[in-house]
Amino acid sequence: MKKLLYAKQSTDSHWVGDGFPVRQIFSYSDLAKDISPFLLMDYAGPANFPPSEHRRGVGEHPHRGFETVTMAYEGEVEHRDSAGGGGLIRSGDVQWMTAASGLVHQEYHGTEYAKKGGPFEMVQLWVNLPRKDKMTKPRYQGISTTDIPVVKLANDMGHVRVIAGQYQDAKGPAKTFTPINLWDVRLKAGATLEITQPAGHTTTVFVLAGEVKTAEGELLRDATLGVFEKDGDRLTITATQDTKMMFLGGEPIDEPIVGYGPFVMNSIGEIKQAFIDFQDGKMGTIGQIEGSEV
């Protein structure tokens, strides 16, 4: 049985652009080596935006060496990038962008959402790429909620949406470079979730709202990350109240992690080259989204 190593909660909030009030749950400068292949997690919201003709968001900025995964719980985000990828994700959808060799992208609230306003809640993960894949071609996966398989728990006690990897017989639609399990989980009070995860793999849960109890009796509450040991192959989580949480698991990438700002590579030299390539325009550029204000 995998035991809880530690829990981490962030209450400090900052803005990314003018559209994303986020709490940074972890980053490549603190926990990345412990929970590889995951590099960073920003939790945006919960918030409520008033109607506006101005499309809030963040303008063009570069990335290299990893993937960004945006899970939409409430609200809408429109993405465009210099590699030609882009799309609109709504509640329940997922955007999986592979920056890899480098691109420039922008993220704004969806046009209709901006006009109507309303609740907003999203999680963005950064997922590392192994050295051999860091300079591959960028790609974009827009994953609709209708394409995500749902496994219902016994006695109608909740469900697991499988975005990447596998839970029971359900396989997620996301294409990944290394073995990854990423699930969106809902549990009713009293529900128990049994998870099998290979020994040696990262095993992490993030509770967005509610409360769960580990097999050892530790409690994980709102906006708390729980990091479990890599030994063992089973994890048991019991909800003490109705809970919304994520499960993150994966095969660690045993390589140096060197990050600076929007780039995560394996050496300082590669980081310096990323800045040079960006400044030289080698990561491309994109025009302003029609109707947006940058």
The answer to whether 100 touches 116, Cβ cutoff 8 Å, is no
| Whether pLDDT at 95 is above 90 | yes
What domains are defined for the chain? 4-250 (2.60.120.10)
Q: What is the tens place of the pLDDT at every residue in 3-57?
A: 999 999 988 899 999 999 999 999 999 998 899 999 999 999 999 999 999 989 9
| Whether pLDDT at 118 is above 80 | yes
CB within 8 A of 239, min separation 6: which ones?
Answer: 158, 187, 188, 189, 190, 191, 192, 193, 210, 211, 212, 213
Q: What is the tens place of the pLDDT at every residue in 174-203?
A: 999 999 999 999 999 999 999 999 999 999
| Whether pLDDT at 249 is above 70 | yes
Sole residue written with tokens 């509640």: 91
Q: What is the tens place of the pLDDT at every residue in 35-45?
A: 999 999 999 99
Sole residue written with tokens 């990350």: 225
Tally of residues, the chain: 294
CB within 8 A of 267, min separation 6: which ones?
Answer: 256, 258
- Percent of the chain, pLDDT > 70? 97
